C-alpha cells in the first residue's frame, strides 16, 4: 500500500515524487519499516486522465454537483427534522432574533446556532426573505456536501497521490448517505465538511511528525473544530479528539501535536464559540444547556429517542447500505489493508474509525447519518489498496460477495422505482424508472468487473450508476410520489378553497413540521374543541378565511364539539395520503364555518 505526501510535502521524510498520476509515486512510510521502491502498476485510462492535482478536484466538483443537485427544487420538505430546522430559521428571519432558536412558540434548544445562521445567510444572499423557497434553505447542505467531497480528496493527499485520493473523493460523492444529507436542510452535511477540514489538517500535522509550530494548519484545525461545535455541539470534538487519543495509543507519540499550537489554538477555539453560548445563556437563562445537554445529548446516549433506539452493531449493518458503493470494495481490500496495517495511512484511518464507531454503537439512539463522518476513514485505505491491486487475486467467494453487495442496492432501487409508486397508488415516473434501470445495468457491469478481478476498473461504472440513480430517483421518482407529500397538497387545497391571500389555519391531528413551514408560522396546532372555537369566531360575519384541518381520527371529537355549541362546519375539501413517519394512512378534512344559511338543519 503506497503512501506519499506528494504536492503537500506533509512528511519531512517524503521522497520527491512526480505529479503525473501514472502512479502514487510514493516513498513507503510504514511504521517501523524502511523506505522502499514504489511499485508501478498499470492504471485505467480514466485514472491516467483525471489522476492529477488539477483535473481530479475539477472532476469531483462537477460530479458532486451533478449527483447532489437533482431534487433540490422538486422534493418537498422531508419530515420531521428538515422542516424543524427550516422553520426555526424562517422565524429568525421573521423576527430578527438570531440568538434564540424557536419552533413557533416552543424553544428549540437541541442544536447550536451555526446551521440556522448559514441557512439565513443563504436565504438573504439569494435575494429572498422568510418566504423563500425550500431550495434556498437547502443551499448550505448542498455546498457542505460538495465541499466534503473536495476536502476528502485534500485529506487523502496527506498520505497518497492524486489517483488514490481521486478514488476517495469518488467514494464520497457516490455514497448514498452523502447524497441524502446533501438534500436535507439540517446539520449533518455541513458538519461532515467541518470534520473533514479538521481531520485533513490533523493528518498533515501528524505526518510531519515535528514539534515545530505549523501556524497555517493549526489555524485551519482549530477553526474547523469551532465550526463543528457551532453546527452540532460535541460531535466534531469527539471524533477529532478520539482520533488524537487513538494515534497516541497506537504510536506512543504525542509530541507531534505541539505543532498544532494547542494552547493558542484552544484559546482561538474558545473565542469563536463562546460569544453565542454566552448570548444564548443570557437569552434563555441557562435553559438552552439544560435542554441541549441534559435532555437531547444525554437522552440519546441513555435511551433511543423518538423511536430510534437500536442494539449495538446496528450501525455496522447499516453501513453496508448507506455507504454504498464503498462496502463492496472494502470486502475486496481487507486482506491488503491488514497486510499493511503498520503503514501510517492505515494507522490514521484506524484511529479515526474505530473509537468513534464504538461510541456510536454504544449510544442508544441510532440513525444512519450518525456514522457519516467515519466514511472517509474507510474510503482512504480502500482507495490505496485498490490502486495497489486489491481484489485481483481475491478468492472467488470473496469476489462474489463483493459483487452482490455492489449490485443489490441499485437493483432494489430500480425495482422500487416502479413497484413503489404502484403500491402507494401513484403512477410510476417513466423517466425515473428508465434512469434507475440504466443505473441497475451499469452496476451489473461494475459487478462483472469485480468478479473478473478488476475491481479498480469497476469503480467508474459504479459511480455512473450512482449518478443515473440519483437523477432518476431524486429528480423524478421521489417528486412523483404524491401520496406521501401530504403537506404540499394540503397547502394547495387550502389555497383552492379560500379567496383570502393570508388565510388563518388551525390543524388537529396532523402536526407535521412540514405543514407549519409551508403554510406559515401562524398555523396553530390545537385540540378539536379549540378548532371549533376558532371557526365559531368567524361564524357571525362569514368570510371563509378561517380553515380548520381535521385528521379523521379527531373528526368525531371535532364534530361533537361543534354540535354542542350549535355550529355546523362545512367540509370544503378532503384528501388522503400516507404519513412517511410511522406509515399511517391519513384522511384529512378541511372545514370552515358554515354561512348563516348553512347553519339551519
Closest-CA residue to 179 (of 189, 187, 169): 189
Quick one: pLDDT band at residue 32, thresholds 50, 70, 90?
very low
Quick one: pLDDT band at residue 43, thresholds 50, 70, 90?
confident
- Ramachandran bin of 473, using left for φ above 0, alpha for ψ from -120 to 50, beta for the remaining angles: alpha
pLDDT of residue 284: 83
Higher pLDDT, 43 or 560: 560
Q: Which residues contact 159 (CB under 8 A, 6 or more apart)?
A: 3, 4, 5, 10, 203, 207, 344, 345, 348, 380, 384
Cell of residue 569, nine digits: 362546519
Query: What's 309's DSSP letter?
Result: B
pLDDT of residue 308: 52
pLDDT tens-digit profile of 430-462?
999 999 999 999 999 999 999 999 999 999 999
pLDDT of residue 311: 83
Helix (H, G, I), strand (E, B) or coil at 109: coil
- Is 0.75 topped by the overall pTM? yes
In angstroms, the CA 257 to CA 124 distance is: 40
CA triplet 237, 53, 349: central angle to 5 degrees?
35
Helix (H, G, I), strand (E, B) or coil at 388: coil
pLDDT tens-digit profile of 134-192?
999 999 999 999 999 999 999 999 999 999 999 999 999 999 999 999 999 999 999 99
Sign of CA dihedral 154, 156, 159, 163: negative
pLDDT of residue 4: 52
DSSP alpha helix (H) spans, 365-512:
375-387, 396-424, 430-451, 455-472, 486-497
pLDDT of residue 90: 98
Whether the upstream peptide bond of residue 374 has omega within 30° of 0, thus cis, is no
Helix (H, G, I), strand (E, B) or coil at 578: strand
Q: What is the DSSP string of 531-573?
A: HHHHHHTTTSS--S-EEEEEEGGGHHHHHHHHHHTT--EEEEE
- 109 touches 61 (CB < 8 A): no
Residue owning grid cell 389555519: 505
pLDDT tens-digit profile of 476-497?
999 999 999 999 999 999 999 9
- 505 touches 520 (CB < 8 A): yes
In angstroms, the CA 324 to CA 135 distance is: 26
Q: Is the pLDDT of residue 589 over 60?
A: yes
pLDDT of residue 3: 55
Instruction: For the chain, give the percent of residues with pLDDT over 70.
Output: 88
Instruction: Tell me how far CA of residue 593 lies from CA of 528, 531, 589, 590, in angstroms.
Output: 14, 11, 13, 11
Query: Rounded mean pLDDT of 405-424?
Result: 96
- 202 touches 157 (CB < 8 A): no
Q: Which helix (H) or strand (E) holds 593?
A: strand 584-593
pLDDT of residue 5: 44
Query: What's 294's DSSP letter?
Result: I
Which of 225-234, 308-317, 490-499, 517-526 comes out lowest in average pLDDT?
308-317
Length of the chain: 601
- 86 touches 126 (CB < 8 A): no
pLDDT tens-digit profile of 253-307?
999 999 999 999 999 999 999 999 999 888 888 788 777 775 665 555 655 455 4
Residue owning grid cell 441524502: 180
pLDDT tens-digit profile of 12-31?
333 333 333 333 334 333 33
Q: How far is CA 36 from the centre of its chain?
A: 40
pLDDT of residue 28: 39
| Torsion angle in degrees (nearest 10) through CA of 360, 363, 366, 368 | -10
In angstroms, the CA 341 to CA 114 distance is: 38
Longest dimension (CA), the chain: 96
Query: Rounded mean pLDDT of 97-114?
Result: 91
Q: Which residues contact 487 (CB under 8 A, 6 or more apart)?
A: 76, 77, 79, 512, 514, 515, 517, 518, 519
pLDDT of residue 541: 54
Quick one: pLDDT band at residue 39, thresholds 50, 70, 90?
low
β 524-525/504-508 pair status: parallel
pLDDT of residue 381: 98
Quick one: pLDDT band at residue 64, thresholds 50, 70, 90?
very high
Residue 253, Cβ density class (10 Å: 0-12 exposed, 13-18 middle, ≥19 buried): exposed
Amino acid at each position: 500500500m503506497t503512501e506519499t505526501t506528494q504536492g503537500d510535502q506533509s512528511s519531512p521524510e517524503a521522497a520527491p515524487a512526480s505529479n503525473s498520476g501514472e502512479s502514487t509515486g510514493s516513498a513507503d512510510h510504514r511504521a517501523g519499516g524502511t523506505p522502499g521502491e514504489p511499485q508501478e502498476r498499470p492504471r485505467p485510462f480514466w485514472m491516467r486522465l483525471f489522476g492529477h492535482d488539477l483535473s481530479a478536484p475539477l472532476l469531483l466538483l462537477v460530479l458532486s454537483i451533478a449527483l447532489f443537485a437533482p431534487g433540490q427544487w422538486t422534493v418537498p420538505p422531508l419530515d420531521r427534522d428538515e422542516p424543524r430546522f427550516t422553520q426555526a430559521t424562517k422565524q429568525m428571519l421573521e423576527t430578527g432574533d438570531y440568538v434564540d432558536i424557536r419552533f413557533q412558540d416552543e424553544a428549540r434548544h437541541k442544536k447550536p446556532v451555526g446551521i440556522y445562521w448559514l441557512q439565513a445567510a443563504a436565504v438573504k444572499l439569494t435575494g429572498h426573505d422568510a418566504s423563500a423557497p425550500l431550495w434556498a434553505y437547502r443551499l448550505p447542505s448542498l455546498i457542505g456536501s460538495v465541499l466534503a467531497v473536495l476536502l476528502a480528496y485534500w485529506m487523502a493527499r496527506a498520505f497518497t497521490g492524486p489517483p488514490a485520493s481521486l478514488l476517495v473523493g469518488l467514494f464520497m460523492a457516490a455514497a448514498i448517505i452523502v447524497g441524502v444529507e446533501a438534500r436535507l436542510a439540517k446539520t449533518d452535511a455541513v458538519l461532515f465538511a467541518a470534520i473533514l477540514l479538521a481531520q485533513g489538517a490533523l493528518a498533515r500535522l501528524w505526518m510531519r511528525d515535528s514539534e515545530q509550530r505549523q501556524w497555517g494548519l493549526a489555524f485551519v484545525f482549530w477553526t474547523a473544530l469551532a465550526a463543528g461545535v457551532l453546527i452540532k455541539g460535541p460531535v466534531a470534538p469527539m471524533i477529532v479528539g478520539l482520533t488524537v487519543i487513538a494515534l497516541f495509543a497506537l504510536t506512543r507519540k504525542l509530541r507531534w501535536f505541539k505543532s498544532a499550537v494547542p494552547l493558542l489554538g484552544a484559546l482561538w477555539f474558545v473565542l469563536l464559540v463562546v460569544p453565542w453560548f454566552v448570548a444564548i445563556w443570557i437569552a434563555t437563562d441557562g435553559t438552552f444547556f439544560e435542554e441541549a445537554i441534559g435532555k437531547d445529548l444525554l437522552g440519546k446516549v441513555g435511551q433511543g429517542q423518538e423511536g430510534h433506539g437500536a442494539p449495538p452493531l446496528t450501525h455496522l449493518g447499516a453501513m453496508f447500505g448507506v455507504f454504498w458503493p464503498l462496502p463492496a470494495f472494502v470486502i475486496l481490500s481487507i486482506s491488503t489493508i491488514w497486510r499493511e496495517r503498520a503503514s501510517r495511512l492505515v494507522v490514521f484511518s484506524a484511529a479515526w474509525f474505530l473509537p468513534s464507531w464504538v461510541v456510536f454503537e454504544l449510544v442508544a439512539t441510532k440513525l444512519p447519518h450518525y456514522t457519516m463522518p467515519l466514511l472517509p476513514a474507510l474510503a482512504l485505505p480502500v482507495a490505496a489498496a485498490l490502486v495497489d491491486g486489491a481484489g485481483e487475486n481475491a478468492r472467488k467467494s470473496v469476489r462474489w460477495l463483493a459483487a452482490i453487495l455492489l449490485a443489490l442496492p441499485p437493483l432494489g432501487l430500480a425495482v422500487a422505482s416502479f413497484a413503489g409508486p404502484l403500491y402507494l397508488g401513484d403512477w410510476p415516473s417513466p423517466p425515473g424508472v428508465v434512469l434507475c434501470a440504466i443505473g441497475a445495468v451499469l452496476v451489473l457491469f461494475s459487478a462483472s468487473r469485480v468478479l473478473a478481478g478488476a475491481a479498480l476498473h469497476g469503480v467508474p461504472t459504479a459511480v455512473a450508476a450512482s449518478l443515473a440513480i440519483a437523477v432518476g430517483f431524486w429528480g423524478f421518482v421521489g417528486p412523483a410520489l404524491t401520496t406521501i407529500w401530504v403537506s404540499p397538497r394540503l397547502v394547495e387545497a387550502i389555497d383552492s378553497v379560500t379567496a383570502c391571500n393570508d388565510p388563518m389555519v388551525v390543524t388537529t391531528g396532523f402536526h407535521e413540521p412540514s405543514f407549519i413551514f409551508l403554510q406559515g408560522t401562524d398555523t396553530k396546532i390545537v385540540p378539536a374543541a379549540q378548532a371549533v372555537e376558532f371557526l365559531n369566531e368567524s361564524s357571525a360575519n362569514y368570510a371563509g378565511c378561517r380553515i380548520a384541518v381535521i385528521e379523521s381520527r379527531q373528526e368525531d371529537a371535532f364534530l361533537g364539539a361543534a354540535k354542542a355549541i350549535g355550529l355546523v362546519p362545512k367540509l370544503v375539501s378532503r384528501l388522503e395520503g400516507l404519513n412517511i413517519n410511522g406509515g399511517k394512512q391519513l384522511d384529512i378534512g378541511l372545514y370552515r364555518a358554515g354561512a348563516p344559511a348553512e347553519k339551519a338543519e
